[in-house]
Amino acid sequence: MLMNVGYLESFNFSQWDCLIFHDVDHIPLSYSNYYGCGSMPRHFISGEDVWNYEIKYEQLFGGVTGFTENQIVSFNGFPNAYWRWGGEDDDIYKRTTGVGLARTRPAGQMGYYNVIPHHHESAPQNKNRFCLLDNYEERLHTDGLNNIKYERPSVSLSLLYTNISVDIRRLPWNRERWRHCEENK
């Protein structure tokens, strides 16, 4: 949900050729990993220290990703149905490939990242994630940019970043369309 908010709010500041979504705990190790708009959609990571600088599985598509505006619109943005930890990055991969987009990724050390150690104790695993992933197609056109609702955010501009604070709430579960999974409470 926060990715959709970031996407929508970014256009209040400027028009963008592409948008890069970067987890704050991922530190790039190479200046040559080009954060430009070519070859989108792009997974900027070719390996992480936590996985011995390898990709854990081929469909991995989280941490640092980039898209053009039209690409994000084509897959209806990011899923809002995920609460708790796990599955949303894999859903984004399925959404992009499901609308015919091919992800790119750098090779070798250029795409290496270190991950700041953290734990997910404050955000328990999403027990419904596998069902949501297996049935992403039933939510593709009804869960994303077209169903997001949030109050006007608070915005503060700093020299190096813009802080957008928003109060997010779970959206109503679409029982008519999302029949295969239960609402994750």
- For the segment 83-112, what is each residue's pLDDT rounded down to a tens digit? 777 788 999 999 999 999 999 999 999 999
**pLDDT at 119 > cutoff 70:** no
Instruction: Return the pLDDT at 108.
Output: 93
Written as six digits, the tokens of 100 are 């015919």
SS3 174: coil
Residue 39: Cβ within 10 Å count: 13
H helix runs in 1-116, sequence order:
2-10, 69-74, 88-98
Q: Give the number of residues written for the chain.
A: 185
Written as six digits, the tokens of 36 are 């430009």
**pLDDT at 185 > cutoff 60:** no
118 vs 59, higher pLDDT: 59
**167, containing H or E segment:** none
Alpha-carbon torsion, ordered 28, 101, 1, 131, to 10 deg? -110
- Report d(CA 25, CA 111) in Å as an integer: 15
Question: Which 8-state DSSP code applies to residue 51?
Answer: G
- Report d(CA 30, CA 108) in Å as an integer: 10
SS3 164: strand
**Does residue 128 contact residue 180 with C-beta atoms inside 8 Å?**
no
Q: Strand runs (DSSP E) across 74-173, as ranges? A: 112-115, 154-157, 162-165
**pTM score of the predicted model:** 0.88
